Amino acid sequence: MVDLALPGGQSAAPPAARRKHGVGPALGALIFLFVFFVVPLSALLLRSVTDPEPGIGNYVRLLTDETYARVLFNTFAVATVVTIVTLLLGYPVAWLLVILPSRVARWLFAIILLSMWTNLLARTFAWVVLLQKTGVINRMLMNIGLIDAPLPLLNNLTGVTIGMTYIMLPFIILPLHASLSGLDPSLMQVASISGARPRQVFFRVMLPLSLPGLGTGALMVFVMALGYYVTPAMLGGASNMMLAELIAQHVQTQLNWGLGSAGAFILLAVTLALYAVYVRGIGLGRLK
C-alpha cells in the first residue's frame, strides 16, 4: 500500500472510512512522551554542553581524566566478560531446552522464568549475602580446603560480574532457544550422513545457523550490561565504579550536572549505536 502524505493527519484522506485512521488516536501517548521523555532528555543533552560553561569541556574531561577513563574501561570490560560468560553458559542450556523431553524442559523453563521475574533487589540482596567474606560460598570453599582465607568476592568487579551474569542469563537463553528450535534437524542429519564428525557438524552447520539468535542475544546482554545501575551499585566497590553509577553519583551527591549528563550521553550514544546494529540485524519489521 502506498503511504499517502496526509498533512495534519486527515485533510487528504478520502471520506469516512479512512478519517478515523489518522495519527489522531496516538496523540495522547505522543504528547505525553514528548513532554516527559523527549524534552527532559534534550534538556539534559543541552546541560552537558552548557554546565558549568558552554563548550565540550565535560566530554573532554570524561574521556581524558584517568579516573573517568578507568570507569569507562571497567564498564566495557564487565559488559564484555558478562556477555561471553552468559553465551558460554546459555548456549548449552538453550540447546538442552530444545532436545530435552518436554516434561523436563518445562521445569528448566520454569526455573529460568522464575529467576528472571524475581524482584531484582531480592536477587541482589541474596548475592550480597552469599558473596560476603563470611558468606556461604567463602565458608564452603574454606571447609573443603580449597582456600585458606576468604576470597574477596564482594565490593569489586568479581562480584559485579557474578551478579550481572545471573541477571543476564535468561536474556540470552530465551532468544537462543527461539533460534535453535527453528533449526531444521535434517540439515544436521545430512551433514553427518555425508561423513562429518559430530564436532564438525556443530562448528560448521549448527553454530553458523544459530548465529542470528546468538548475535541478537549477545548484543542485547551487552547493551543492558553497559547501562546497568542496581547490581554494580550493590555488589561493586567504591573504587571500581561503572558508568551508570558514575552518572548517578555526579548528579545525586556531587551535584555536578554537567559531567553527569555528559556521561549519560556517552552511554546513550553507545547504546543507540549498538541498537542500530541490532535493528539492522533483525530488521525493523520485527521490532514490535
Site for another protein in 151-170 (CB under 8 A): 166, 169
Binding mask 71-100 for another protein (x = CB under 8 A): ------------------xx-xx-xx-xxx
200 lies in the site for another protein, by CB under 8 A: no
Choosing from 56, 63, 136, 147, the residue that interacts with another protein (CB under 8 A) is: 136
Q: Which residue do the cell numbers 556521561 mark?
A: 263
Minimum separation from the CB atom of position 166 to another protein (A):
7
Cα separations in angstroms, 259 against 57, 77, 235, 240, 245: 9, 22, 24, 18, 13
User: Which of the ranges 5-13, 54-62, 64-72, 144-152 carries the binding residues for another protein, by CB under 8 A?
Assistant: 5-13
Q: Which of 55, 92 has the CB closer to another protein? A: 92
Binding mask 105-124 for another protein (x = CB under 8 A): ---x-xxxxxx-xxxxxxxx
Angstrom distance (rounded) from CA 118 to CA 283: 31
Q: Which of 30, 77 has the CB closer to another protein? A: 30
Q: Which residue do the cell numbers 547501562 mark?
A: 227
SS (H, E, C) 148-172: CCCCCCCCCHHHHHHHHHHHHHHHH
Minimum separation from the CB atom of position 149 to another protein (A):
19
Angstrom distance (rounded) from CA 288 to CA 283: 11
User: Which of the ranges 54-62, 72-80, 144-152, 257-265 carries the binding residues for another protein, by CB under 8 A?
Assistant: 257-265
Q: Which residue do the cell numbers 574531561 mark?
A: 61
Residue of 177, 239, 162 whose CA lies nearest to 213: 177
The verdict on whether omega for the bond into residue 208 sits within 30 degrees of 0, i.e. cis, is: no
Angstrom distance (rounded) from CA 11 to CA 19: 9
171 lies in the site for another protein, by CB under 8 A: no
284 lies in the site for another protein, by CB under 8 A: yes
Choosing from 6, 49, 141, 282, the residue that interacts with another protein (CB under 8 A) is: 6
User: Which of the ranges 52-60, 68-76, 143-151, 197-205 carries the binding residues for another protein, by CB under 8 A?
Assistant: 197-205
Residue 94 contacts residue 217 (beta carbons within 8 Å): no
203 lies in the site for another protein, by CB under 8 A: no
11 lies in the site for another protein, by CB under 8 A: no
Alpha helix positions (H), 197-256: 198-201, 207-209, 211-226, 230-235, 243-252
Enumerate residues 31-70 that contact another protein by CB under 8 A.
32-33, 36-37, 39-41, 43-44, 47
Residue 28 CA to chain centroid, in angstroms?
30
Choosing from 151, 188, 212, 237, the residue that interacts with another protein (CB under 8 A) is: 188
Collapsing DSSP to helix, strand or coil, 196 comes out as: coil
